[in-house]
Amino acid sequence: GSLSPEEKAKGLHDFAHGRIQILISKPSIASQGLNWQHCARTAFVGLSDSYEQYYQCIRRFYRFGQPRIVHAHVILSALEQQIAHNVLRKERQANGVMDAMIAHINETERLTA
Protein backbone atom coordinates (compact mmCIF):
# COMPACT_ATOMS: atom_id res chain seq x y z
CA GLY A 1 0.00 0.00 0.00
CA SER A 2 0.69 3.50 0.91
CA LEU A 3 3.72 3.03 3.18
CA SER A 4 7.19 3.85 1.92
CA PRO A 5 9.85 1.11 1.98
CA GLU A 6 11.42 2.88 4.97
CA GLU A 7 8.12 2.88 6.88
CA LYS A 8 7.62 -0.82 6.11
CA ALA A 9 11.15 -1.64 7.32
CA LYS A 10 10.58 0.39 10.50
CA GLY A 11 7.33 -1.49 11.18
CA LEU A 12 9.06 -4.87 10.81
CA HIS A 13 11.92 -3.72 13.04
CA ASP A 14 9.59 -2.29 15.70
CA PHE A 15 7.53 -5.51 15.75
CA ALA A 16 10.67 -7.63 16.08
CA HIS A 17 11.79 -5.54 19.06
CA GLY A 18 8.42 -5.44 20.83
CA ARG A 19 7.70 -1.77 20.25
CA ILE A 20 4.46 -2.65 18.45
CA GLN A 21 2.31 -5.67 19.31
CA ILE A 22 0.35 -6.21 16.11
CA LEU A 23 1.82 -6.28 12.63
CA ILE A 24 -0.22 -6.47 9.46
CA SER A 25 1.87 -7.46 6.48
CA LYS A 26 1.93 -9.98 3.67
CA PRO A 27 4.14 -12.99 3.01
CA SER A 28 5.91 -11.36 0.08
CA ILE A 29 7.28 -8.77 2.54
CA ALA A 30 7.54 -10.72 5.79
CA SER A 31 8.43 -14.33 4.93
CA GLN A 32 12.22 -14.23 4.70
CA GLY A 33 15.06 -13.51 7.11
CA LEU A 34 13.06 -12.39 10.14
CA ASN A 35 13.07 -13.74 13.69
CA TRP A 36 9.78 -13.41 15.53
CA GLN A 37 10.09 -16.00 18.27
CA HIS A 38 8.61 -13.46 20.69
CA CYS A 39 5.26 -14.05 18.94
CA ALA A 40 3.27 -17.30 18.77
CA ARG A 41 0.13 -16.31 16.87
CA THR A 42 -0.21 -15.44 13.22
CA ALA A 43 -3.05 -15.28 10.74
CA PHE A 44 -3.24 -15.49 6.99
CA VAL A 45 -6.14 -13.77 5.29
CA GLY A 46 -6.12 -15.69 2.04
CA LEU A 47 -3.24 -17.66 0.55
CA SER A 48 -1.21 -17.65 -2.62
CA ASP A 49 -0.32 -20.93 -4.34
CA SER A 50 3.19 -20.71 -2.87
CA TYR A 51 3.76 -23.40 -0.24
CA GLU A 52 7.31 -22.06 0.24
CA GLN A 53 6.02 -18.60 1.15
CA TYR A 54 3.48 -20.08 3.58
CA TYR A 55 6.14 -22.33 5.15
CA GLN A 56 8.71 -19.54 5.42
CA CYS A 57 6.17 -17.22 7.06
CA ILE A 58 5.33 -19.76 9.73
CA ARG A 59 9.03 -20.51 10.29
CA ARG A 60 9.55 -16.86 11.30
CA PHE A 61 7.82 -17.80 14.56
CA TYR A 62 9.41 -21.26 15.01
CA ARG A 63 12.87 -19.95 15.83
CA PHE A 64 15.45 -20.86 18.46
CA GLY A 65 14.12 -19.63 21.78
CA GLN A 66 10.41 -20.00 20.95
CA PRO A 67 8.96 -21.43 24.19
CA ARG A 68 5.33 -21.59 23.02
CA ILE A 69 3.27 -23.55 20.52
CA VAL A 70 2.81 -21.46 17.38
CA HIS A 71 -0.77 -21.02 16.16
CA ALA A 72 -1.21 -20.15 12.49
CA HIS A 73 -4.79 -19.35 11.48
CA VAL A 74 -5.79 -19.34 7.82
CA ILE A 75 -8.91 -17.38 6.90
CA LEU A 76 -10.29 -18.20 3.46
CA SER A 77 -13.32 -17.46 1.36
CA ALA A 78 -15.17 -20.35 -0.27
CA LEU A 79 -13.52 -19.42 -3.55
CA GLU A 80 -10.04 -19.89 -2.04
CA GLN A 81 -10.57 -23.49 -0.91
CA GLN A 82 -8.83 -24.91 -3.99
CA ILE A 83 -5.77 -22.75 -3.30
CA ALA A 84 -5.64 -24.09 0.27
CA HIS A 85 -5.92 -27.68 -1.00
CA ASN A 86 -3.07 -26.98 -3.43
CA VAL A 87 -0.85 -25.58 -0.65
CA LEU A 88 -1.64 -28.59 1.57
CA ARG A 89 -0.81 -30.96 -1.31
CA LYS A 90 2.55 -29.20 -1.72
CA GLU A 91 3.12 -29.51 2.03
CA ARG A 92 2.50 -33.28 1.90
CA GLN A 93 4.89 -33.59 -1.05
CA ALA A 94 7.59 -31.58 0.73
CA ASN A 95 7.19 -33.70 3.87
CA GLY A 96 7.42 -36.87 1.78
CA VAL A 97 10.64 -35.70 0.14
CA MET A 98 12.09 -34.78 3.54
CA ASP A 99 11.13 -38.15 5.04
CA ALA A 100 12.71 -40.00 2.08
CA MET A 101 15.87 -37.92 2.37
CA ILE A 102 16.18 -38.65 6.10
CA ALA A 103 15.63 -42.38 5.48
CA HIS A 104 18.29 -42.36 2.75
CA ILE A 105 20.81 -40.57 4.97
CA ASN A 106 20.11 -42.96 7.85
CA GLU A 107 20.59 -45.96 5.55
CA THR A 108 23.83 -44.52 4.15
CA GLU A 109 25.15 -43.94 7.67
CA ARG A 110 24.17 -47.47 8.68
CA LEU A 111 26.01 -48.96 5.69
CA THR A 112 29.16 -46.90 6.20
CA ALA A 113 29.39 -47.30 9.99
Across 30-46, average pLDDT = 88
The rounded percent of the chain whose pLDDT value lies above 90 is 65
How many angstroms separate the CA atoms of 45 and 37, rounded?
A: 21
pLDDT for 85? 93
CATH code of 70's domain: 3.40.50.300
List the one residue out of 60, 84, 62 whose CA is nearest residue 74.
84
- Asked if pLDDT for residue 98 goes beyond 90, the answer is yes
pLDDT for 43? 92
Q: What contacts 74, CB < 8 A, 6 or more positions away? A: 43, 44, 47, 84
Instruction: Give the residue numbers spanning the domain of 96.
Output: 5-112
Number of domains in the chain: 1
